[in-house]
Structure formats: C-alpha cells, structure tokens
Structure 1
Amino acid sequence: MRVVLLCLLGCALGPALALDNGLNAKPALGFNTWNAFYREIHEDLVKEHADLMVSLGLRDAGQYLVLDDCWSERSREEGERLQASKEKFPSGMKAMGDYIHAKGLKYGIYSDAGTLTCAKYPGSLDHEELDAQTFAGWGVDYLKYDNCHVRRDRWVIDRYAAMRDALNATGRPIVYSLCEWGVMEPHLWAPQVGNSWRTTEDIRPWWDSIVKTLDYNVGLSRFAGPHLGWNDLDMGNDTGLSHAEQRTHFALWALLKSPLMIGHDLRDFSKTSLGILLAKEVIAINQDDLGVAGDLVWRQGTKRVYAGPLAGGGRAVVLANFQTTYSQYPATNITVFWTQVGLQPGQRVAVRDLYAGGCTTWWCCA
C-alpha cells in the first residue's frame, strides 16, 4: 500500500440524479481570463494566451481556454442573438474558437443566468435556447454560467436547469460550469444540473481567502465524483501568495478534486510558479481515475491534514501549516496516524513527495 504525500508545507428537480452529458468523468483543467484581466480582454490577448498555453507546456496540464465576462456587445443583434464586441473581437467568436481549437485547446465562454452579466452585458435569461445554439455554432466546449442580475420570480434551480436543457438539445458536448457562489447550497442540487458548481464567493489573491474557501468546503467531498460532478473552489489567483502558499493552494485544490483553472497572466510567471502548475504528479491526483475528492481529516490550531483515496489503493495526503504570520513561517511538526488517512495501524507504506519527486521512503507507523 502506498501513501502519496503531496505537500509538506504549509428539490424541484425530482430524484437526485446526476447530469449525464458524458463530461463528468474528471475535473476540468485550463485557463480563465477573469482574475488576470477582468474586463480588458480582446482577440489578440486571447490568441497570445492560447499560444502561451502551448509554448509553456500548459496545454498538457489543462486544455480549456475560457473567455470570461465582457466579450460581447452591450446589446443583442437583430434577431436577439448575442454578438461579439466588434472592437474587442473583430473576427468574431467562431473565428476565436477556430484559433483556440487549432492550438489543440478547447474553447470556453461565459454567460449569466440573469438578464445581465455581472459586468452588465446581455445575460441569457429567457434566451437559453437561442444562446445555447449560438454557442454550439461557434464551437464552444465549455460554458461558465454566472448568477448576476437575476429576477426574483425565477428560482435559481429553474434558471440553471433551463440552460442545461438548452445545451443538451444542441447535441454538442459542452461542459456546464455553474457559478452560483454557493449561496443556495448548490452541492445539494447542482449534480442534477451541471458538471461543476462554485461553492463560495470569488477567491482573492491572499492567503486568508484561500483558508476561508477551504473552510467552507469541509465535508463537501461526498457530493462530488465522476458520476456527480465537482465542487469548484474557483480559479487560481496567486499574485499575492508566496511560493509556499502557491504550492499548498495548488496541492489542496488538486486533492479536493476542484477544477484547476489558472487565473494568472501567463506572460508574467516566475519559473517557480510555472513549475507548480506543471507538477504532473500533483495534477495526476486531481485527475485520478477513482475520482474520490479528499477532505479535511484532522486539524489543531494552524495545523491541518487532508487526505483522500486513490485508484490502486494509495492515499493522497496533504500536511499543511496555515500560519498567517507573513513575516516568517516557523517550522512545525505534524503527526499523522495511519487510521486518519484510511490505513491500518502498523502498515508499511511508501511515502512520496509529489513536488520533489524521485524520493520514496518506507515508513511503518501507528
């Protein structure tokens, strides 16, 4: 039996059936424009990032390139179809998708379950069928669906289910990512509706936000899986984190089986930060065939242990020190009992640090 050590640092829809569109097998991997660029996205920038995903090796670590809010005009065209911003995307959204696909990537786009998006561009409420057909015609492979500017007379589940049905009716496989921010406990109903669901408000680029997100997700692992969908802890936003915090952040998102979406400007990566995002053995935990999300198994003060099972009988374990004193990170000892991570007392195991790689030791512990 092998223990895998990831990181030493610190309702209305009837029966609870999962959405069966063939896209739930593993969490999505890729890049999203919002955290890095907010409203300032445009055709040349997206093309540059498609090129960078290939040249930096990130295509092998995540195939989706997702255009977030602010890609459209402020109004629909005649016939009520969504239209690309003529200033930002003069070649149009189908041409944008063709470029992304030509790079061996998959094409993601954004809309909203309200009358307007969060940045006040046209939303898809009451236009679900038309917009889904439009997205499919553009070659879209992934839809992030937000929850701003909603009508009080339309229940959240009904609004999200309407786009689910519209996407399914297109006949094109489109990953459906719900961004409801966890307000109405989507882990209880979203498996019937989407492939992943945000569990919290937007993540911020500081450590306290990472910890807050993790705390909210304690106990939610049982709602995720290959036949259900995935708890989405939000995209990476590491600009304000130390390298130690980045490693811990990425390892825990991988263990909890969150979609792994990069939210950092790909033109501005340190070699160390890029190495974290390309850590193949850590990504393999996220994409493990068993698909069981890890969870918190022990905590004491700032010390925490997260663990989860792997295909083949191994265990993925993260030991983390959540010290928040930024001037220094004093070393600490964390003791793990085998029974806490699903092993038998006295069992002899191989322990591997997935960031360091190439170093396996044998432990026999209580």
Structure 2
Amino acid sequence: MFAERQLRAALTVLALSGLTLTTLQGTAGAADAPTTAAPATAGTSPVVSIEESTARALARSFAEPAWHRQVAKAALADEEVDLLALTATSAAKSAEEFRTTLVEAEADIAEAKGLGTDAGSLLRVGLAGKPVSESALARTSPLVASAPADDDADVVIAYDSAGNAHELDAGKVPERPVYVVGVDGQKALAAGLEVIDKELAAKGLGTLTAPGTNTTAAGAAGTASVASTGFWTTRIKSISVADLKEPWFKGNAEVFTLVTGFGTDGKVRVDTVTMPYVDVENTTYYPGQILVNWSNYKYNLADAVLMEDDGDTNYSSLAKALAAVLLTVTDQGMYIPLVDAIIDAMPASWWTDDPDYVDSFYTLARETTGSRTGASANARMTLERYYVSAL
C-alpha cells in the first residue's frame, strides 16, 4: 500500500519538475530562492517522505484563499493544528481535495511508525518564523515546508501554492512566516510506547499490570505485601539536557526513558517513562516524576537510557530489536548493567540523527540521591528516594 503511494508521489514529482520555478512576487529573497526542480526524496525515511508529500499538497491547496485564511487563523490560535480535523470543518473545495490525500498519508504514517490503526490522526501543521498578525498572514503568499531528514541540513525546501520549490536557510529562523508540516510527536510517542510495552510484555520483558504484580506464587505473595504496605521509588526532583539539537524546522523534543533491570522473576525488565516536559535545552525542569519503581526489580540497581523520537522512529521495529537482544541476557545471580545491551539493540537508523540517543545513567541504586550526570555528560538529574504508601 505505502509503496504504491510512494510510486504515485514520485510520478507526480516528475511531472511537476517540468514547471518553471519563479520567486514569490514581493516576498521571496535570496534566502528562499526557488530551486530548479522539486527535490528528490530517495534515501530518506518513509516518514520524512510522507511529510514532504503532505507539505506539497497543502501548499497547492492554498491556491484557494478562503482555505488559506482558515488555516492561517487556526495556526495562529494553536501551536500545532490537526490537519485532518481542520479539513473536516471546511467547506472549501481545495480542503476537501486535500483531505483525500491526507487520509492516505495518515494511514501511511501510522504504518511507517509501526503504530497500527488505533493511533488516530498524527499529521499537524504549525507556524515558524517571526510573529505575524492574522491579517498579514492571510495576505502573505504562503510557503509550506516539512523537516528534512537531517537536523544538520543546510537548506529546508518549502513549496508555494503553484507547486514551486524554494530553498530556506536551515540555520536561522526565517523572516517570513512558513507553515511546517510534521507529526504530533507527543501523540506518536504515547502510542509508540504502548506498542513497546505490549511487545516486551508479550516476550516476558515487562508487564502492563499494576506495580509489583507477578504471576508466580512467590510473586503473588509479594504483590499482596506491596499492596498492603506501599513501595519505594526513585523520583526525579529536577532534570536538564544540555543539547537537544532541535532546529527551527523541528517541533519540541519528545524525550522518553527506558528503565531496565532484572524483574522479580529474574528476567530482564524494561519500563518506559515519558518526559513530555523536556523540550528546551539548557532548561531545568522540576517534574517530581517517578523514574524507578523498586517493587518491580529483583536487585537494588537499575539503568536508565534517555531517548528522543526525532520523527522517523518505527516503534514496532524498535520493540522487536530490544526484545531480540535482551532475551539473550540472563540473570547470573548478580546485577549486570543493561545500558550497553539497550544501545546495541537500537536499529541502525537511530544513529543517523544524534538526538535519538540523549544520555544514559548506569547503576542507579534505590539509595541513590542527589545530582547525577549522565555517561555522555548531556543530561543531569537530581534524584530522591520517595515512598509510595498504600491507600
């Protein structure tokens, strides 16, 4: 299905490449001069290709001024606009035509990210560039871009309503407003971590049940004890990340943590922890968030690996890769750090973009308190012991 749509998209690009590309009258400068042809998407990830195709289609739909005004108003009112929901409220003909393309793109995005059919709408549009009023934005000839595959790219390709491609400087925020199409990172991350949890639980590497739950007789006794008395946790008092490497064409960072150790059954266990508040580098956050629930672990030690979804993560593939490696690790009667095993399990595509791996914390103990710096010196956390009492 996705391959067929990619072929159709490629043929469309070939057809469009014969168009004469002109500057936007009165709005385009040297920084966004038109290119001679639509850029090729060969070698980029499926997610990047889908976002780019959606950006082109949205730009063409702006040929109808009424629809552009509707999108402009929505984009100024909200940081990210659900494109599928917005098209459903529009009476514009171009919005209806764009929605047909959008429905296919949504299905392809869910498939490319390994999220199944229950993820809901994921494609969003937001505004980048200097602040602008609604009337000024509606009068501006619109440009629509999507984030390139490489955060270190020199240019960002944006499209106008005639289908012409323009190069924008990736190194600085554009002077003029630019619509940027992308995936709702937090929504995709939440759905993706559910995929990971289910996959790992199915392999015996985690559990989706209540804290302390265990299916063995000994585990059942332990569960009753936890339920009646409570349990110890490690809580994050503060956290900061020095470098998230998020340029203007990317949205906020989507950071999550894989907490690993040996479960009460002696098998490797992985718990996922979302950190939606970590989105600006060199900023200290004070979440008071539980990082490790010690009732889930056999030993008094656990590891934590901080990751970021940079947009093209396939969660199903990631879960399978994690399971394949971690199932080979056995309990030797003593704690074995699992950070290296987690990193070794990462698909090769994760290392094409540095922010995917944020940092790692080895051998966190139940008694660990105070400030800790990650192994890569990129993240810093202040930890405290926290007892969760039974009701």
Whether the TM-score (by the shorter chain) exceeds 0.5 is: no
Structure ranking higher on relative contact order (CA contacts 8 Å, 6+ apart): 1
Q: TM-score, normalization: structure 2?
A: 0.24
TM-score normalised over the length of structure 1:
0.26
More strand by share: 2
- Larger helix proportion, structure 1 or 2? 2
